[in-house]
Structure 1
Amino acid sequence: MTRTALAIPEADRTPAVLTHLSPLAGFLLPTLGNVLGPLVAWLALRDRSPALDQQGKEALNFQLSMWLYGVLIGILAFVLFSLGILGGALGTAAGAQDFGAFAFLGTFAAFFVFFVPLLLLLSIIPFIFMIVAVVRVSAGQPYHYPLSIRFVR
């Protein structure tokens, strides 16, 4: 299925830009503000024009996708971190001090080498794409976020 890119008329550019900037509400309402901002903007503006409807859906879908990715990474980090700690504790309790120490150190190393940078990227990437979207939309070009799952069609 292909998406039809609707050019953004001059009168709709400012509301479209504000829609793409609405995830900044996450600074006021941590955790869900970045999703609630685009949701409120899309619900308020979707009937004004097809271009605003499309750009609102794009912003909302992207923020929902980033939220989902963050939750999945958090769950994966928690499970792997818990298994590493459990393995280290069981190894130490069983008398294998070297195994217990290796499991503890490996768990912390994996957390700081893999999960911390991944979560940092997941925090930075939305801002970069938001800036690109604002620049494109202010020039009248529609924007489609990469890495976005289409929850709202």
Structure 2
Amino acid sequence: MDAETKNWAIACHALAFAGYVIPFGNLIGPLLVWALKKDSSPYIDQQGRESVNFQITMLIAYLISGILVLVFVGILLLAVCALFNVVMVVLAIIKTADGQDFRYPFAIRFL
């Protein structure tokens, strides 16, 4: 696998951190890279699909946790979701940088 393919696959995962700067950036960043580069490599397609599916799953988890803030359980769940998201994205970046396939646990496969 060439370096450019690997770099675009890493970008699919790393752009999930855009959500900490731009609203919905955690979904928009990976979605844009995946949509633009999925036809150039099966590896980018697979890793981009994984990243987008995981970020959609996390968005649903954040929404549910946000609703549960009304009963005070959601505050803890929001923190757990944020920590889980960061840890999984960092693991995905590390595995992808090594050229390995990465599948997010607990991700709903929408795409």
**2:67 and 2:74 in contact (8 A); partners too:** no
The letter of the residue matching 2:50 is: E
Equivalent residues of 1:70, 1:122 under 8 A apart: yes
Cα drift, residue 57 of structure 1: 0.3
Secondary structure of the equivalent of 2:102? coil
Matched, 1:27 2:20: yes
Query: Shift of residue 147 of structure 1?
Result: 1.2
Which sits farther off after the overlay, 132-141 or 68-77? 68-77
Task: Show the 5 A alignment for 1:122-133.
Answer: 122-133=81-92
Secondary structure class of the residue paired with 1:51: helix
RMSD, matched Cα: 1.2
- Listed as ranges, the gaps of 5+ residues in structure 2 are none
2:45 matched to which residue of 1?
53
Q: What does residue 56 of structure 2 align with? A: 64
2:31 is aligned with 1:39: yes
Residues 25-82 of structure 1, C-alpha deviations (whole Å, 9 max, x = no match): 113312x11110111110111011111000000000000000001112222333xx3x
Count of residues paired in the alignment:
110
Q: Find runs of 4+ consecutive structure 1 residues off by over 4 angstroms.
A: none
Does 40-49 or 67-76 show the bigger shift? 67-76
Tell me what 1:138 maps to: 97
What residue in structure 1 maps to residue 79 of structure 2? 120
Verify the 8 A CA contact 2:13 2:89 in the aligned structure 1.
yes
Deviations 1:89-109, CA, capped at 9 Å, x for gaps: xxxxxxxxxxxxxxxxxxxxx
